C-alpha cells in the first residue's frame, strides 16, 4: 500500500502543474478530432470505442484512486446506463442527450445502492460483492434483453431490430467519434472539478484514515456515497454512448468477466495518472482490434493478451501511465542537467 501512497504524492506534486495537464488533454482531444477527419471506417469505430471505454476506465480509476474502492461491476453499470438510454430512445423520442443523461443518472443510483456494502466492507470482499452484482446483472439482462423497439416495460420483442437514433449533431461515424471524445472530456472535467474542490479534499482524508476524516468533521458516509454515485454515473454515460455507437446493445456484451477484465486493465493502464484511463481503453479495445486486423488468430490473441496482462501487473505497480510519467520526468531532469 505504501508505494502507492508515495507515488500518488509524487503524481500530485508533478501534476499540480495543471496548465501542462490541460495543454496535454487539449492536445489529445485535438489529435482525436484530426483523426476523425482522416481515419477510415475501421479506425473510426475503434477510436470511438476507445473514447467510450476511456470514460468507463476513468470511473473505475476514480473510485480506486480516491476511495480505495474496487468495483468489478463497471461494465454492468454501462449496461444499466445503456438499457435506460435505449428504453427512453425507443419509448419517448426524447433527444439523445436527455436519454444518455437519464441512463447515467440511473447507473448513478445503482452506484448509490452499491454504497450500502461499500460502507461495510472494502478490499477484496467489496470487490466480490460488486462482482456478484455484475454476475446477477448478466443473467438479468440475458432474460429481459435490451430494448429493441418492442412494447411493454422491457421494450423488447422478438422481431427485427429498430435502431436507436444518434444525436442530431453526430449522425455520421466521424461526428460521433468527436461527440464521444467531447463527452469523455466533459467527464474528465467533472472528475477534475470534484477532485479539486470539497469532495476531493474529503476523499483524500477518507483515503488516509476514516477516523481522521470524521474527527475533521467530514461526513464520510455522504462522500463515499457521492463517490460511488459519480462513478456509476460516468459508467452509465459511457453505456449510453455505447448504445448510440452501435445504435443497439446485445446482452451478450455484458458478462461479469468483462467487468473484471477492464478493472485489471485500469490497474495496468495506471489509476494514479489521469491519462491512465486512455491507456486502459487502448489496451481494452484498440489492441485486440489491431491484433484481429493484422490477422492474428483470435485464440492466439487471447494468449498474448492474458500474458501481457500478468506481465504488466507484475512489472509496473503504478501502471503504464506511471512508467511513462517516470520516464518523462527522467528525461526532463536529464535535459535540465544538460542545460546547466
Partner 1 sequence: MLAYGLFLLSGLALGALYSLGGIGLVLLNRATGVLNFAYGAIGAVGAMIAWQVLNWGGPEPLAWAASIGAGLLLSLAFGRLLAPGLAHREPVVKAVATLGFAIALLGLMNLIWSITPRSLSLTVDKQSVAVLGVRITGTRLLAIGAGIAITALTGVLLARTRMGLMMRALADNREVASVLGVPIRKVETTAWSVSGALAGFTGLLFGDLVRLDPTVLTFLVIPIIATTVIGRLTSIPVTFAAGIAIGIIESMLALYSPLTPFRVAAPFVVAIAALMWMQRGRYLTFAGED
Partner 2 sequence: MKRHRSTIIAAGAVLALTSGSALAAPKCGLNNGTKATGQPIKVGAVVGQTGPDDFSASAKAAKAYFTCVNANGGINGRPIEYLIQDDQWNPEVAGLVAAKLVKDEKVVALVASGSFVEMGVNAKLYAAEDVMSMAAACAVSECFESKNIVSTNEGPLPSSVGAAQWAVTKLGSKNVICIGLNIPSVGQYSCGWTEKYMQSKGLSGSSILMDPASADMNSAVLRAVASGADTVLVNLPAGMAAGFLKVAQEQGIRDNFKWISSTPLYDKAIPGILGDHWAGVMHVNIELTPIEGKGPDATNWREVLDKYGTAQDKRDTFSQSGYLSARFFVDAMLKLDPAKIDRKSVSEAIRAIKNEKSDLLCGPYYVGDGDRHMPNHANMMVQIAKDGFKVVGECTGVDSAYLDPIIAQEKRLGIGK
Site residues (CB under 8 A) for partner 1? 1, 70, 116-117, 119-125, 127-129, 131-133, 135-136, 139-140, 143, 210-211, 214, 220, 255-257, 260-261, 263-264, 267, 297-303, 305-310, 313-315, 317
Cα–Cα distance measured from residue 62 to residue 235, given in angstroms and rounded to the nearest whole number: 11
- CB under 8 A: which stretch of 108-116, 120-128, 140-148, 224-232 binds partner 2? 140-148
In 3D space, the residue among 229, 228, 215, 308 whose CA is nearest the CA of residue 261 turns out to be 308
User: Contact, 21 vs 15, CB < 8 A?
Assistant: yes
User: By three-state DSSP, how is residue 73 classified?
Assistant: coil
Q: Which is nearer to partner 2, 156 or 226 (CB)?
A: 156
* Residue 117 touches which member of partner 1, partner 2, none, C-beta under 5-8 Å by kind: partner 1
- CB under 8 A: which stretch of 13-21, 62-70, 108-116, 245-253 binds partner 2? 245-253
* Residue 215 touches which member of partner 1, partner 2, none, C-beta under 5-8 Å by kind: none
Member of 13, 37, 38, 143 binding partner 2 (CB under 8 A):
143
User: By three-state DSSP, how is residue 223 classified?
Assistant: helix
Beta strand segments in the chain, E: none
- CB under 8 A: which stretch of 81-89, 104-112, 196-204, 283-291 binds partner 2? 283-291
Backbone angles phi, psi at 102, to 5 degrees: -65, -40
User: Contact, 188 vs 25, CB < 8 A?
Assistant: yes
Size of the site for partner 2 (CB under 8 A): 39
User: By three-state DSSP, how is residue 233 classified?
Assistant: helix
- CB under 8 A: which stretch of 6-14, 84-92, 153-161, 189-197 binds partner 2? 153-161
Asked whether position 44 contacts partner 2 by CB under 8 A, the answer is: yes
* Residue 167 touches which member of partner 1, partner 2, none, C-beta under 5-8 Å by kind: none
Joined together, the cell numbers standing for residue 107 give 447507473
Asked whether position 139 contacts partner 2 by CB under 8 A, the answer is: yes
Burial of 51 (0-12, 13-18, 19+ CB in 10 A): buried
Member of 3, 19, 93, 299 binding partner 2 (CB under 8 A):
299
Member of 2, 3, 153, 159 binding partner 2 (CB under 8 A):
159
Backbone angles phi, psi at 153, to 5 degrees: -60, -45
81-83-84 Cα angle (round to 5)? 70
Joined together, the cell numbers standing for residue 158 give 422478438
In 3D space, the residue among 261, 203, 232, 195 whose CA is nearest the CA of residue 55 turns out to be 232
Q: Which is nearer to partner 2, 50 or 62 (CB)?
A: 50
Site residues (vs partner 2, CB under 8 A): 40-42, 44-46, 49, 138-139, 142-143, 145, 156, 158-161, 163, 173, 242, 245-253, 285, 288-289, 292-293, 297-299, 301-302
Amino acid at each position: 500500500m505504501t508505494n502507492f501512497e508515495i507515488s500518488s504524492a509524487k503524481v500530485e506534486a508533478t501534476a499540480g502543474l495543471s496548465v501542462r495537464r490541460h495543454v496535454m488533454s487539449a492536445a489529445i482531444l485535438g489529435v482525436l478530432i484530426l483523426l476523425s477527419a482522416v481515419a477510415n471506417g475501421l479506425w473510426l469505430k475503434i477510436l470511438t470505442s476507445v473514447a467510450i471505454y476511456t470514460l468507463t476506465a476513468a470511473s473505475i480509476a476514480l473510485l480506486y484512486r480516491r476511495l480505495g474502492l474496487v468495483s468489478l461491476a463497471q461494465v454492468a453499470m454501462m449496461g444499466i446506463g445503456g438499457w435506460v438510454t435505449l428504453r427512453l430512445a425507443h419509448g419517448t423520442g426524447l433527444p439523445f442527450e436527455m436519454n444518455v443523461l437519464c441512463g447515467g443518472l440511473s447507473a448513478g443510483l445503482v452506484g448509490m445502492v452499491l454504497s450500502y456494502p461499500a460502507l461495510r466492507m472494502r478490499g477484496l470482499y467489496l470487490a466480490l460483492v460488486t462482482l456478484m452484482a455484475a454476475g446477477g446483472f448478466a443473467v438479468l439482462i440475458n432474460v429481459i434483453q435490451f430494448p429493441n423497439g418492442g412494447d411493454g416495460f422491457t421494450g423488447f420483442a422478438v422481431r427485427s431490430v429498430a435502431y436507436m437514433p444518434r444525436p442530431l449533431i453526430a449522425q455520421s461515424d466521424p461526428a460521433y467519434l468527436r461527440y464521444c471524445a467531447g463527452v469523455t472530456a466533459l467527464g474528465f472535467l467533472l472528475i477534475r472539478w470534484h477532485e479539486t474542490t470539497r469532495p476531493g479534499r474529503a476523499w483524500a482524508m477518507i483515503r488516509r484514515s476514516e477516523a481522521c476524516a470524521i474527527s475533521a468533521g467530514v461526513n464520510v458516509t455522504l462522500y463515499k456515497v457521492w463517490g460511488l454515485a459519480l462513478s456509476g454515473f460516468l459508467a452509465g454515460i459511457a453505456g449510453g454512448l455505447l448504445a448510440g455507437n452501435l445504435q443497439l446493445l446485445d446482452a451478450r456484451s455484458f458478462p461479469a468477466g468483462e467487468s473484471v477484465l477492464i478493472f485489471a486493465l485500469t490497474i495496468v493502464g495506471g489509476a494514479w495518472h489521469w491519462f491512465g484511463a486512455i491507456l486502459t481503453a487502448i489496451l481494452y479495445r484498440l489492441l485486440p482490434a489491431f491484433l484481429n486486423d493484422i490477422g492474428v488468430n483470435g485464440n492466439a490473441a487471447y494468449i498474448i493478451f492474458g500474458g501481457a496482462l500478468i506481465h504488466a501487473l507484475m512489472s509496473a505497480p503504478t501502471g503504464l501511465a506511471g512508467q511513462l510519467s517516470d520516464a518523462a520526468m527522467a528525461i526532463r531532469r536529464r535535459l535540465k542537467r544538460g542545460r546547466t
